[in-house]
Amino acid sequence: MNAIISATELADDLAGQRPPVLLDVRWQLSVARAAGEPPFDGRAAYAAGHIPGAVFVDLDEELASAPGTAGRHPLPDLTEFGSAMRRAGVSAGRPVVVYDGGQGWAAARAWWLLRWTGHPDVRVLDGGLPTWDGPLETTAPAPAEGDFQPNPGATGRLDADGAAALARSGLLLDARAGERYRGEVEPIDRVGGHIPGAVSAPTNENVAADGRFLPAEELHARFKTLGATDGTAVGVYCGSGVSGAHEVLALAVAGIPAALYVGSWSEWSADPSRPVAVGPDPQ
């Protein structure tokens, strides 16, 4: 099953006999705001207009726990996550489509969490809401309660030790911007740089100018060049497990399974005892 869906395909599915549950996960990283710009309000954006039938999901409140030693976006409490998904109408036997404002990071986080906790049929709207040319609505739906019960472990997840080991034995990709990987700038975390052995692979290089993913064969060629050859275990991290999920999604589009280090650099760099590499080379 393809991990992404086009707006045309989504419109057809919504009009079909087995329409998917639709989740709106619009979110923006706060440091990306321009000076003086108010914080992005995903709920307000949702209320102003969303794809008919979509239910809003709050990334910070429902797809992550509170920031702490495990990073800025640790895994959510699975009991609370399951309740949130059931309130949104998610059931194990019904497909789910997730979208955001176009960047794809937040939608990918929801996709990864649902896949990791056992949902068999989840896709991301390629390019997000900007690709949708159908109607929008401003009223929130009242979906019937779903039956989804999270069962973690269906897809790969790494902790800090696992990420360090994979950087030595397989391929660990760093999905952040190159300047953060090299340690030239660090706008959020305690220190810049990367996990020793990790390879720089900015997730924004997986998409075209319109935010849609590159064709699967181009993505496969890119990741092969970075070291994702047959038989190589692949993992991804980023700043806090959000943009990294987007790279895991890109790898899935390319047909390459990959694990996500959810704590990512925000967890790794918070511990002064962990090694930090700087510069363009992995080591």
Positions marked catalytic = 238
H helices present in 63-210, as ranges: 78-87, 105-116, 160-169, 178-182
| CA nearest neighbour of 108 among 27, 223, 210 | 27
Pairing of strands 96-99, 21-24: parallel
The rounded distance, in Å, linking the Cα atoms of 213 and 210 is 9
Cβ-based neighbours of 153, under 8 Å, separated by 6 or more: 116, 118
Beta bridge pairs of residue 122: 96
Number of Cβ within a 10 Å radius of residue 27: 24
Radius of gyration of the chain (CA): 18
The rounded distance, in Å, linking the Cα atoms of 258 and 264 is 14
HSE toward the beta carbon, residue 252, CA cutoff 13 A: 22
The rounded distance, in Å, linking the Cα atoms of 182 and 191 is 11
Q: Could you tell me the two tokens for 157? A: 């997840």
